Structure 1
Amino acid sequence: MDRSAFSFCSVLWLDRGRGSKMDMPSSSGRQTDWTKCCLCQQDKKEDLKSPVTNPTKREADGYSNIATNIPQFHSINALPIMLDPVRLDEGGGIDVTLRRNNAKYHQSCRLLFSNSKLQRAIKRMKSAFDIEETQRKRQKTAPHPTSSECFLCDKEVPGSALKATTMQVNDRINDCAKIMRDGKLIVKLGAEDVLAQEMKYHPTCLTALYNRERAHLNTQEYEKNSDLVTGNEVYPAAFSELVTYITETRASSERTEPVVFKLADLLTLYQQRLEQLGVESPNVNSTRLKEQLLSHVPQLEARHEGQDLLLIFKDDLGSVLVQANKYGEALHLAKAAGIVRREMVAHNSKFESRFHAGNVEDAIPPSLLQFVCNIEHGSDIKSQLTNDASKSDIAIAQLLQYNCFGKYMDGGQHHRYSKDHETPFAVYVGLLVFAKTRKRKLIDILHENGICISYERVLEISAQLGDAALTRYEEDAVVCPSLLRKGLFTTSAMGNIDHDPTATTANTSFHDSNISIFQHPSIANTGEECEPFGGRDEGEESES
């Protein structure tokens, strides 16, 4: 062991009040059984060792190591096991007693008293001693605020200033310092309480401290609960519908008895709506949902009735609804229209010369369809659960998207429709009317009212489909309808078409042949659909 460690151990030994001798009792209440381990006095599976049986004779053997280190462990109160050193000294010292009784020990027990273990124990004790001395010096030299200064603002206080006289004030001030992590205030408080330091303060400074603590806690609570209505777009949409359902239910009630909502029912509606909007297994905290509802609907208050938590409107809600500001509703409508229009202008969907299931979903932004559904069926959460998006909702949304222009020409009576905003419904109506009537005037009227594409665009799409059909016929080397399926047993029948009118004003007749094709699918073989025709667009915009 080095000289500094031994010096520190000696200091601790002397500090125990026994001069240079080890602090040991004069007699021991327990005798040593020398047939067992002299250190632990326990029976273990481990073999007992003895330096006497060791053929290698060393000057410092296990006996001398134990006799030297045990008193030092005892002096610093760091014995690794329960051991009374007195029972190892029968006169003449520990080393003589061990050799006289041919003492044995477990190797694991002896290693607990090794030199390295002793040095580590002394080092730990010395570190703790230094820390204690440092703290003692700091407490002696720490500056205390003078009795004429406020310990919060460091300004002089008048004779009427208050002094901390209760432990409640002391605890509250310490809590404020820890919650806000105010290092300057924590240093001022130090190890003693404000009563012992006789600290004075301005009443306004103490009130300001409490206000800062409350604002800090409110900020933390807001950040904690803000994830309920942030993140995914569907969460704010479903939450707004839930709030609308609550307010509209109250507005449409007869007011003869209070409108009461169970938090469990509202939570179920909210989760069902989130699932309908595409959120898989939504995990909504009921307490956070309650706090958000109380925050967005200040007229609500929460009441416990048994195990149920009820949300009830306050009595003055009726007057609040009657005195609602109409200008506020107009502003809300303008904001909603602006949000939807911004997404409509940014959304692009081009007709690919064929209709398929993904056309409708890709042609309109989800917010537009949601807005139309709210207008058609109601914006509350129950209406949205009961009524899904219908064909009329989808058609109206597509027409709105088709007639949405990013820019309008000043004074222009006609607008240029972009092919990037052509919706399947507008294209389908134009092609259907052309196929049924072949009347340009009817198509132009519908186009002027924004219901279908223009007559020129109808002809363009028809020409593209015709070119695609001819290309397919040339590739397949056969002319057949595109609806035929591959891999099916197919039969055909031929017949004549004769039209010989008997009217006196008729001057022509018609004679031709026709071919009828029949396919025979089965449950096991339904055939394979042919790849649909794909046209090509020659321009980006069409002018009406």
Structure 2
Amino acid sequence: MDWANCIICGKDDGTLKCPATRQDDHVNANDLLNNHAKWHLKCQLKFANTKLQRTQERHQRKRNTGQCGDDTGQRKSKRSSLSEESKCINMCIFCKKAEGVLHMCTTLELDTSLREQATEMQDTDLLATIAGGDLVAIKAKYHKHCMDVFRTRYRSMQRARASHTGCTDEKMTESRVFAEMVSFIESSVEEGVYIFRLADLHNMYEHRLAELGHEKAINKTRLKNKLLVHYPDECQEQSDGKSTLLVFSEGLQKLLKEALESRNFEKDALSMAHVAKVIRKEMFDAEFSQFSGSFNHDCQDSAVPNSLKVLVSMLLYGSNIKNQKFCKHTGMSHCMSTNQVQL
């Protein structure tokens, strides 16, 4: 080797640099120092780490974007589904369009919430699009408007579901309270009480609704008409000058006694069959049969259909509205335990 020339290219043209002529604590190659080795600056740059790192990063970016040729060693997929997924990366996961400003999915929380919402709405198109992995890994993108439309659909579905459930529970509760009031009136008539103040019945009705969690104002006239329709021939409306009275005839007492003495077994069986049908329908409803993967703080109460709660409460404490106060305070745990055993 000619140590007077460049040790890299072997030429002596141009300006040569020698580490022996510099004061550098990091130079420790004895051969280079003893022989006064030299090199060109352009030759040194061929081995610079900066250019090597830039080349590697540029090569990696080409591999990720799919612009690199077959010589990159990238393995080709034999499944068409994977190629379709790679196409979805550069388009909106909702509308499947690439026009407009696309936003990247960057958090796993967004991936979790979108999958849960799509599953609840049974959006099979979106579930199939994001089935290739989490949204961050497949670099999923979306339009802000499409995301807003999707979330608006989900909120609308939740409101409709809550409205349907709340309306059903409220109707069931009002029907239960009315049945308890009818039982109270008939028990009182059997004991010889035939006159009832409408104001007392109205207050009793509203108080019982509040105990069951549905506090609302009830129109007195509608409650009165409902009772008169239920007892078309046995009840009359009168007034004592200050308040409205509901007066029952002595014939009602006779009818109740005859109903107890002459039992109609077919009618009883049909009534029990109807009750069982109502409870089974509510038990196997999707709202009670599905499991979301976690237990809420009130899962034990919400998992029991309202109709079954009404039946067990009436079995334990009777159907008289006067006796239902024990169910709320001392007997609620007994009702829940019995309901859970039935389930």
With the length of structure 2 as denominator, give the TM-score of the two structures.
0.44
**Of the two, which has the highest radius of gyration?**
1
* Structure whose residues are more often strand by fraction: 1
Q: Answer 1 or 2: higher relative contact order, Cα 8 Å, separation at least 6.
A: 2
